[in-house]
Amino acid sequence: MSEAMRDFLRQHNIHEVECVIADMTGIARGKILPKDLFLDGEHMRLPKSVLLNTVNGEQPNNSPYVGSTDPDMICVPDPATIRVVPWASERVALVIHDCQEFDGTPVELAPRSVLRRVLALYAARGWRPVVAPEMEFYLVARNTNPHEPLVPPMGRTGMTELGRQSYSIDAVNDFDPFFLELSAFCKQHELGVETLIHEAGAGQMEINFAHGDALELADRVFLFKRAVRETALRHGIFATFMAKPMETEPGSAMHVHQSVVDAITGRNIFSKEDGGPSELFFSYIAGLEKYVPPALLMFAPHVNSYRRLSRFQSAPTNVHWGYDNRTCGIRVPNSSPESRRVENRVPGVDVNPYLAMAATLSCGLLGMIEALTPSEPTPDSAEHVHDDLPRNLEDAILRMRQCPQLANMLGELFVQAFCEVKELEFATFSRVISSWEREHLMLLV
pLDDT tens for residues 275-286? 999 999 999 999
What pLDDT, on a 0 to 100 scale, did the predictor assign at position 179?
87
d(CA 48, CA 302): 22
Residues 277-322: tens digit of each pLDDT = 999 999 999 999 999 999 999 999 999 999 999 876 678 889 999 9
* 19 and 124, same domain (yes or no): no
For residue 22, is it within any domain? yes
Residue 393 inside a domain? The answer is yes
Q: What integer pLDDT is reported at residue 174 of this predicted model?
A: 77
The residue among 47, 76, 107 that closes a domain is: 107
| Mean pLDDT computed over 189-200 | 82
Asked whether the predicted pLDDT for residue 431 surpasses 60, the reply is yes
pTM, two decimals, is: 0.95
Which residue has better confidence, 383 or 320? 320
Examine the pLDDT at 160 and tell me if it is beyond 60: yes
Q: Could you tell me the CATH number of the domain that includes residue 396?
A: 3.30.590.10
- The total number of structural domains that make up the chain: 2
What's the whole-number mean pLDDT along residues 169-188?
83
| Cα 31 to Cα 54: distance, rounded to the nearest angstrom | 19
Q: Which of 55-64, 290-299, 340-349 has the lowest mean pLDDT?
A: 55-64
Report pLDDT for 162: 60
In sequence order, which residues have a C-beta less than 8 Å from that of residue 248 and are 6 or more positions away? none
The answer on pLDDT for 365 being more than 80 is yes
* Whole-angstrom distance, CA of residue 359 vs CA of residue 291: 9
Residue 302 contacts residue 243 (beta carbons within 8 Å): yes
Q: Is 92 or 171 the better-scoring residue by pLDDT?
A: 92
Q: Is 441 domain-assigned?
A: no
**159: exposed, middle or buried (Cβ count in 10 Å: 0-12, 13-18, 19+):** exposed
Res 167 pLDDT > 60 = no
- Same structural domain, 263 and 196: yes
pLDDT band at 113 (very low <50, low <70, confident <90, very high): very high
Q: How far apart are CA 193 and CA 222, in angstroms?
A: 13
Same domain, 155 and 12: no
Q: Does residue 163 register a pLDDT over 70?
A: no
Q: How far apart are CA 46 and CA 71, in angstroms?
A: 8
Q: How confident is the model at residue 154 (pLDDT cuts 50, 70, 90)?
A: confident
CA angle (209, 30, 255) in 5-degree steps: 25
The yes-or-no verdict on residue 114 having pLDDT over 70 is yes
Q: Which of 12-16, 172-176, 201-205, 316-320 has the highest mean pLDDT?
A: 12-16
**Amino acid in position 87:** W
Residue 417 has pLDDT above 90, yes or no: yes
pLDDT of residue 155: 75
Work out the end-to-end distance of the chain between its first and last CA atoms, rounded to an integer number of angstroms: 66
pLDDT over 70 (residue 170): no
pLDDT at 72: 96
Quick one: 98 and 134 in the same domain?
A: no
**101's torsion region: left (phi>0), alpha (psi -120 to 50) or beta?**
beta
- In whole angstroms, what is the distance from residue 368 CA to residue 313 CA? 32
Q: What's the residue count for the chain?
A: 445
Range scoring the smallest mean pLDDT among 116-125, 139-148, 293-302: 139-148
pLDDT tier for residue 268 given thresholds of 50, 70 and 90: very high
* Shared-domain flag, residues 70 and 207: no
Among 107, 142, 176, identify where a domain stops: 107
Stretch (H or E) spanning 18: strand 16-22
> Per-residue pLDDT for 406 more than 90?
yes
3-state DSSP assignment of residue 50: helix
* Highest mean predicted confidence (pLDDT) among 89-98, 159-168, 198-207: 89-98
Same domain, 37 and 136: no
318 found inside a domain: yes
Of the pLDDT bands very low, low, confident and very high (cuts 50, 70, 90), residue 169 is low
| Confidence (pLDDT) at 79 | 95
Q: Looking at the predicted structure, is the pLDDT value of residue 67 above 70?
A: yes
**266: alpha, beta or left? (left if phi > 0; alpha if psi -120 to 50):** left
pLDDT of 137 higher than 70: yes
CB 279 within 8 A of CB 347: no
Average pLDDT score, the chain: 92
pLDDT at 247 over 80: yes
| Nearest alpha-carbon partner for 139 in 50, 192, 201 | 201
H helices of 294-341, where?
296-299, 305-308
Q: Give the pLDDT score at 344.
A: 98
Any bridge partners for residue 131, and if so which?
Answer: 212, 258
Cβ proximity of 85 and 67 under 8 Å:
no
Contacts of 159 (CB under 8 A, 6+ apart): none
Mean predicted confidence (pLDDT) in 182-209 = 86
445 lies in a domain? no
Q: Does residue 113 lie in a domain region?
A: no
Quote the domain boundaries for residue 65.
3-107
On whether both 149 and 74 belong to a single domain, the answer is no
Q: Kind of pairing, strands 212-213 and 204-209?
A: unpaired
Note the pLDDT of residue 399: 97
